[in-house]
Amino acid sequence: MSDRFPPGFLWGAATSAYQIEGAAAQDGRTPSIWDTFSHTPGRTAGGDTGDVAVDHYHRMREDVALMAELGLTSYRFSVSWSRVQPTGRGPAVQRGLDFYRRLVDELLHHGIAPALTLYHWDLPQELEDAGGWPARETAYRFAEYGALVGAALGDRVERWTTLNEPWCSAFLGYASGVHAPGRTDPAASLRAAHHLNLAHGEATSALRAAMPARNQIAVSLNSAVVRPRSQDAADLDAVRRIDDLANGIFHGPMLHGAYPERLFADTASVTDWSFVHDGDPRAIHQPLDALGLNYYTTSLVSAADPHGADARADGHGASPHSPWPGAGAVAFHQPPGERTAMGWTIDPSGLYDLLLRYAKEAPGLPLLVTENGAACDDAPGPDGAVHDPDRIRYLHGHLASVRRAIEAGADVRGYYLWSLMDNFEWSYGFGKRFGAVYVDYATLARTPKASARWYAELIRTGELPPAPGA
């Protein structure tokens, strides 16, 4: 197998607005659900918030210069909805749009293709107060917001993503409550999932109407790679139920125009799905130009042992409330193997399986790895340099899987490392470092880690070097 990536392969890094921007109350921005949540005692580690985050709003030029130094050919970022449309309704705020226009122009100036995500979890608080994602109206608000951003930036941004990981918005936000807005209402979480699907479909149509036809529209899913603990029928059925709730619930309507049939029966004790209106499947099922996949680890699942403790190790934070409404008796187990600082098992083969699954599931649809990376306990050494061999090993293993998937026929067009720099890792606060660039939170100084240099060299050569330590 060649270790060379195809010409034109996009080499990227990803971030999201609330995790990096700061300037939370500047230039007309209003609170999002993550501002409210992070300011609620007990919700984030150490009470950390994104008020300042890594101050990207004021250091944008420096950050783009870093990207250029690394040789990135694309950069995935998200727009803060409440910076652009503070109440979630009505006309856009020019100052908010101007920030993103400056960012995009700076990227283009350096030959870096902007990849814009409209929604990375930061719903304007006003829309949550009006019902949030469980309310149908939110989907229409999102389409309107998408059209505003599309009209403003569609002339210079070609790569668009509607939603980032709607699973997390619906189920961590409204079922287990470990993410904003922190609700624990299983029925509301399924309504939220449907309205996120509808939001994706309506926004895709609105973007197409608002932008030049050449622009590409995608969605980024955190499709789970769910493996059975044994081949017993009960374990296989548990996998099927989790797969429907993690994957089919989004890719079913988005890619095929229908929810997985058994999902309705599985969740019948939670909801009757009467919130799905005639015509919704058609509205959701819009042609896409690419599918974004975010991958970190695999899940190991069995039917719950009624006599044993429920081994909940799904990697999505501690909560007495399950993020799997209607899944029934299911247990999550820690997959064997080494783990990252998040406690997530390192399994590059999962990324290969995921890419091949979607190559089959959505033939002809180009794939992008829109997030992949590892949290490590990084710290500068005495010389000030940050050596992160574990991250380099992680990246190498996963990029080898991408290369192998391409060889096996998957049409993978690009890879975005999560993340460009250390940042606010949601409920974990600043305690988990995913960056290729180290951020000193006292001074906000940026220092590329060894992994950043390693990635830059890979981008320069287009060829995966031998495995580190090999």
Place of tokens 């619906």: 170
* Among 82, 125, 164, 223, contact with ligand FCB (rule: CB under 6 A): 164
Which one of the spans 110-118, 146-154, 176-184, 418-426 is the region binding ligand FCB (CB under 6 A)?
Answer: 418-426
With the CA atoms of 175, 246, 205 and 135 taken in that order, what torsion angle do they form, in degrees rounded to the nearest 10?
-20
The residue among 16 and 161 lying less far from ligand FCB, judged by its C-beta, is: 16
Length of the chain (residues) = 470
Number of shown-chain residues binding ligand FCB (CB under 6 A): 12
* Among 99, 426, 438, 454, contact with ligand FCB (rule: CB under 6 A): 426
CB of 370 to ligand FCB, least distance (A): 9
- Residue 418 within binding range of ligand FCB, rule CB under 6 A: yes
Residues 171-206 as b/e (b if ≥16 CB within 10 A, e otherwise) read bbbbbbbbbbbbbbbbbbbbbbbbbbbbbbbbbbbb
The residue among 220 and 302 lying less far from ligand FCB, judged by its C-beta, is: 220
Is 165 known to be catalytic?
yes
The residue among 178 and 254 lying less far from ligand FCB, judged by its C-beta, is: 178
State the DSSP code for 13.
E
- Residue 422 within binding range of ligand FCB, rule CB under 6 A: no
- Residue 35 within binding range of ligand FCB, rule CB under 6 A: no
Site for ligand FCB in 346-405 (CB under 6 A): 371
Place of tokens 């509205």: 283
State the DSSP code for 160.
E
> Tell me, what amino acid is at 9?
F
Q: Tokens at residue 237, please?
A: 């059925």
429 near 19, Cβ under 8 Å? no
CB of 95 to ligand FCB, least distance (A): 25
Q: Tokens at residue 321, please?
A: 């409330």
420 near 447, Cβ under 8 Å? no
Residue 309: φ, ψ to 5° = -70, 145
CB of 397 to ligand FCB, least distance (A): 17
The residue among 79 and 168 lying less far from ligand FCB, judged by its C-beta, is: 168
Q: Tokens at residue 350, please?
A: 């999962």
The residue among 90 and 343 lying less far from ligand FCB, judged by its C-beta, is: 343
* Among 48, 122, 165, 378, contact with ligand FCB (rule: CB under 6 A): 165
Give me the catalytic one of 371, 407, 425, 463: 371
* Among 16, 32, 162, 451, contact with ligand FCB (rule: CB under 6 A): 16
Is 158 known to be catalytic?
no
CB of 16 to ligand FCB, least distance (A): 5
Distance separating alpha carbons of residues 246 and 244, to the nearest angstrom: 6
CB of 425 to ligand FCB, least distance (A): 6
Count of Cβ atoms closer than 10 Å to residue 322 Cβ: 20
State the DSSP code for 254.
I
403 near 415, Cβ under 8 Å? no
Q: Tokens at residue 148, please?
A: 């505003």
Site for ligand FCB in 121-160 (CB under 6 A): none
Site for ligand FCB in 38-97 (CB under 6 A): none
Give me the catalytic one of 165, 202, 261, 425: 165
Q: Tokens at residue 362, please?
A: 């959505």
Place of tokens 């098992």: 345
* Among 425, 439, 446, 449, contact with ligand FCB (rule: CB under 6 A): 425
CB of 424 to ligand FCB, least distance (A): 9
Q: Tokens at residue 457, please?
A: 């060299």
The residue among 344 and 454 lying less far from ligand FCB, judged by its C-beta, is: 344
- The helix (run of H) or strand (run of E) holding residue 381 is none
The residue among 166 and 228 lying less far from ligand FCB, judged by its C-beta, is: 166
* Among 434, 438, 454, 455, contact with ligand FCB (rule: CB under 6 A): 434
- Residue 222 within binding range of ligand FCB, rule CB under 6 A: yes
- Residue 280 within binding range of ligand FCB, rule CB under 6 A: no
- Residue 345 CA, distance from chain mean position: 18
Return the half-sphere exposure (C-beta side, CA atoms, 13 A cut-off) of residue 73.
Answer: 12
CB of 460 to ligand FCB, least distance (A): 26
CB-neighbour burial class of residue 28 (10 A; exposed 0-12, middle 13-18, buried 19+): middle
CB of 111 to ligand FCB, least distance (A): 26
Residue 160: φ, ψ to 5° = -125, 140
- Residue 447 within binding range of ligand FCB, rule CB under 6 A: no
Strands 290-294 and 216-221: parallel
- Residue 314 within binding range of ligand FCB, rule CB under 6 A: no
Catalytic residues: 165, 371
Residues that bind ligand FCB (CB under 6 A): 16, 19, 164-165, 168, 222, 294, 371, 418, 425-426, 434
